Amino acid sequence: MKLILDFFPILLFFGAFKLYDIYTATGVLMAGTVIQMSIIWLRERKLLPMQKATLVLILLFGSLTLALHDDRFIKWKPTVLYGAMALALAVALWGFKKNFLKMLLGTQLDLPTHIWGRLNVAWVAYCLFMAVLNGYVAAYFSTEAWVNFKLWGYVFPIVFLVAQGLYISPYLKSDEPAA
């Protein structure tokens, strides 16, 4: 159910784009994201900072796209989001000496401090890579190509998360008692 909820707005966006156009798809994405965040809030009584940022950016860039009838705004939203994430993680780590990933996930994962540091740096690099890649596709390719990139580009986060899981797996403690 969570997986369906996570991909609900983006699946609606792709469907609306294929059936209509980028502007209809943008309106559908905005509505779908509001519904998604409402469901999350009703279930958990809170939204995480990343969820709030995503909602605000989709509504802001979507509104600009629709009001100005200019698809560049919705196409650049992922670049802004990934860039902001990279900047926030980097400033927290190197500016304030705080590991934001550890602060968010430290209660769920027991990892050595140096591994948390490497994960944080990996997330900064990943977010920068995705910001640049989306920016390049948004700037130099058609809207149709960008939408297809967004659909098939989901391989990047999947590969990144699997690699991250493989990297931290030796450091995870087993719940099974020793024989």
d(CA 44, CA 83): 27
DSSP state letters, 73-139: HHHHHHHHHHHHHHHHHHIIIIIS---HHHHHHTTT----HHHHHHHHHHHHHHHHHHHHHHHHHHH
Residue 105, pLDDT > 70, answer yes
Q: What is the pLDDT of residue 139?
A: 97
pLDDT-derived band at 178 (thresholds 50, 70, 90) equals low
Residue 159: enclosing H or E segment and its boundaries?
helix 155-168
Which pLDDT belongs to residue 175?
Answer: 58
Query: Domain extents for the chain?
Result: 1-69, 71-173
Q: What pLDDT score does 132 carry?
A: 98
Are 81 and 108 a contacting pair, CB within 8 Å? no
Q: Among 59, 53, 62, 58, which Cα is nearest to 22's? A: 62
- Please answer whether residues 131 and 124 qualify as being in contact, where contact means their C-beta atoms are separated by less than 8 angstroms: no
Residue 49: the pLDDT is: 84
The reported pTM is 0.85
Percent of the chain beyond pLDDT 90?
A: 77
Tens digit of each residue's pLDDT (9 = 90 or more) over 30-83? 999 999 999 999 999 999 888 998 999 999 999 999 999 999 999 999 999 999
* Average pLDDT over the chain, rounded to an integer: 92
